[in-house]
Amino acid sequence: MTDDSATPGLFDALEAPIEASSVSTQKKTTKRGTKAAEPKAAAPKAAAAPAPRKRRSAEDMAATQREISVSEFFTKNRHLLGFDSPLKALLTTVKEAVDNSMDACEEAGILPEISVEISAAEEENRFRVCVEDNGPGIVREQVGKIFGKLLYGSKFHKLSQTRGQQGIGIAAAGMYGQLTTGKSVRVVSRPGKRAKATEFLLSIDTAKNKPEIHHEATVEWEHGHGTRVEIEMEAKYQKGLRSVDMYLKQTAIANPHLTLHFTDPGGEQVTYERNTKEMPPETVEIKPHPHGVELGRLIAMLKSTQSRSLSAFLQDEFSRVGAKVAKDIVTKAAAAKTGQTLTVKSYPSRIAREEATALHKAINETKISNPSTDCIAPIGEDLVLAGLKKEIEADFYAASTRPPAVYRGNPFQIEVGIAYGKPGGVGLEVTDEGRIRKKATSRDVVEDLVAGADEPIRVLRFANRVPLLHQQSACAVTKGVILTNWKSYGLTQPRGALPIGPMAVLIHIASVWVPFTSESKEAIASYPEILKEIRLALQDCGRKLGTYIRKGKRLKREFDKRNYIEKYIPHIGIALQEILDLTNVERDGTVETLEDVLHKSRKF
């Protein structure tokens, strides 16, 4: 195919009068003794000289420079928060609301019961998302700020294991709804039996990042306490691996103490009943570990602390620092040329930048015990297994919870569960009578969560019990699975890829601060310490899986051999009858006897 658009330009150039610059080129060529220049394709006509650029003074520029509110920023960059398509926006909204409900219930010590309802709105491509919980509710004064102001929350400034971290989530969902439909968010909240439920209609003033409450009234509400959020938005509802349905199902797996009701836009209802009444253990909030603090943060902390001496500052603001460790740090820092004037009594806010640098270096050179780990609550091997068994029918399950570890001063813990073998697949079992038979299955539906025998395994990623459905390939969890050698556990694995087989692997990272790669909290950063722990947990489960697969292969070989021999038993029977010249009565039992001998033999 030719590019016609190029042609006129070329002819124009050939017909154009020779410009000064091309004449000089000809002269040069002749000088060097080469053939006299034939008329060459001349350069296109020189464009008219561009108008001189208008110069702008610093004052002119200053007139256009102004503050950007965080809401304006995220309105333009909503993809950063997980609102980059109508499909994903729906999932992100449900996720933010359900995660908040779970956090609130757990913080209040209430067994969570949550209802999610998605219904089609009047206008096309619009849905209404309603999430209701039996949590502690929200006091009246806070409702506006929580739902109508970005970067407002209770979790950002503390180090504790919660689903939410940033204080953006639910307000961003409301803002997305407002942006795409112009409608306000409806909130009903009742902070306890003695209080009345209040209904609010509110939106966010994006230029000021402030809530605007349009309506507030007390209403009757059948629940003793809790919160209901309703957001209408442009969205798309679709089932599949990255759907709301999948997020809710995986949430039920990782949160066995949750009862969850879901009504989809078609009116179909599903309830995930809790299978334990045990709440996850209460976790404690911790102070930052000194080894995780960066220089800039240390300087800011020195400025803002209430402590009146350097020793007190180190002990009050950080975990695992006692008087002795504080003294060691200060002595080391003072020994450095730049930190000469430092003593344990130095006044923190008067410490100069060079001294702070020496202090930071000394902190990292001092041996300090790892942070305490009572701030982390893993799901636990038993409940990982129970969760998998409840929602995924498979032939084999295994789980492994690693001891806590630390990245950048933040404690974390990894746990892994696997479900292997699709019901109705190759699963075989030995009956009480010693017969090998195909395993029976109670479900005829092919389970989405276990991959097909010739597909890459399904990786179910969780961070603080929240399923992560997007950005799988950018996530440390996926990297950990790929870096594990699954061939030694009986699975095939293409180079640099996920293993192949009928398996789902659940990987959970519990941490006081999950290192997400972006604000949309979809993938976990690949810190070497995290990758190492993921691989160790996978290897532990892999070893158990390997034993099972080897046993399964042996059973399969036995099963095939038996089938083969069974095929010939009638012929052997006839031959035996003839050789032994048996009577008719004796003849009748020959085949049964041979079959019996075969099945009782454990060798075949």
- Annotation: binding site: 100, 133, 154-155, 164-171, 521
**492 CB-contact burial (10 Å; exposed 0-12 / middle 13-18 / buried 19+):** exposed
Contact with ligand ATP (CB under 6 A) among 29, 166, 305, 577: 166
Q: Give residues 119-148 in contact with ligand ATP (rule: CB under 6 A).
A: 133, 135, 138, 146
Least CB distance to ligand ATP at residue 201 (A)? 17
Check residue 170 for interaction with ligand ATP (CB under 6 A). yes
Contact with ligand ATP (CB under 6 A) among 71, 93, 227, 311: 227
Least CB distance to ligand ATP at residue 519 (A)? 8
Least CB distance to ligand ATP at residue 162 (A)? 7
Check residue 167 for interaction with ligand ATP (CB under 6 A). yes
Nearer Cβ to ligand ATP, position 152 or 489? 152
Residue 183's Cβ-side half-sphere holds a number of Cα atoms within 13 Å equal to 18
**Cα 215 to Cα 201: distance, rounded to the nearest angstrom:** 5
Check residue 169 for interaction with ligand ATP (CB under 6 A). yes
The tokens of 80 are what?
Answer: 């950063």
Helices and strands of the chain, counted as H and E runs:
17, 16
Contact with ligand ATP (CB under 6 A) among 42, 129, 171, 482: 171
Q: Residues annotated as binding site for ATP?
A: 100, 133, 154-155, 164-171, 521
> Which DSSP string do the residues of 172-227 spell out, in sequence order?
HHHHHHHHHH-PPEEEEEE-STTSPEEEEEEEEETTTTEEEEEEEEEE--SSSSEE
Q: Give residues 145-164 in contact with ligand ATP (rule: CB under 6 A).
A: 146, 153-155, 164
Residue 401 in 3-state DSSP? strand
**Cα 471 to Cα 484: distance, rounded to the nearest angstrom:** 20
Q: Give residues 60-119 in contact with ligand ATP (rule: CB under 6 A).
A: 96, 100-101, 104
Nearer Cβ to ligand ATP, position 286 or 594? 286
| 112 closest CA partner among 220, 255, 224 | 255
Check residue 206 for interaction with ligand ATP (CB under 6 A). no
Least CB distance to ligand ATP at residue 229 (A)? 7
Q: What beta strand segments (E) does 408-564 contain?
A: 410-420, 428-430, 436-438, 458-463, 466-468, 503-511
Least CB distance to ligand ATP at residue 317 (A)? 22
Span near ligand ATP by CB under 6 A; candidates 165-173, 261-269, 289-297, 337-345: 165-173
Secondary structure in 3-state letters for 67-97? CCCHHHHHHHCHHHHCCCCHHHHHHHHHHHH
**Cα 510 to Cα 401: distance, rounded to the nearest angstrom:** 11
Contact 232, 183 (CB under 8 A): yes
| 405 closest CA partner among 394, 414, 397 | 414
| 559 closest CA partner among 436, 450, 430, 454 | 436
183 to each of 77, 174, 180, 232, 467, how far by Cα in Å? 20, 9, 8, 7, 29
Nearer Cβ to ligand ATP, position 119 or 166? 166
Nearer Cβ to ligand ATP, position 148 or 387? 148
Nearer Cβ to ligand ATP, position 96 or 395? 96
Q: What number of chain residues touch ligand ATP (CB under 6 A)?
A: 20
Least CB distance to ligand ATP at residue 179 (A)? 16
Nearer Cβ to ligand ATP, position 96 or 391? 96
The tokens of 217 are what?
Answer: 């009234």
| 265 closest CA partner among 174, 130, 169, 391 | 130
Nearer Cβ to ligand ATP, position 96 or 117? 96
Span near ligand ATP by CB under 6 A; candidates 119-127, 168-176, 231-239, 357-365: 168-176
Check residue 339 for interaction with ligand ATP (CB under 6 A). no
Contact 473, 481 (CB under 8 A): no
Check residue 188 for interaction with ligand ATP (CB under 6 A). no
Least CB distance to ligand ATP at residue 99 (A)? 6
Least CB distance to ligand ATP at residue 286 (A)? 18
Element (H, E) at 532: helix 528-580
Binding site for ligand ATP (CB under 6 A): 96, 100-101, 104, 133, 135, 138, 146, 153-155, 164-171, 227
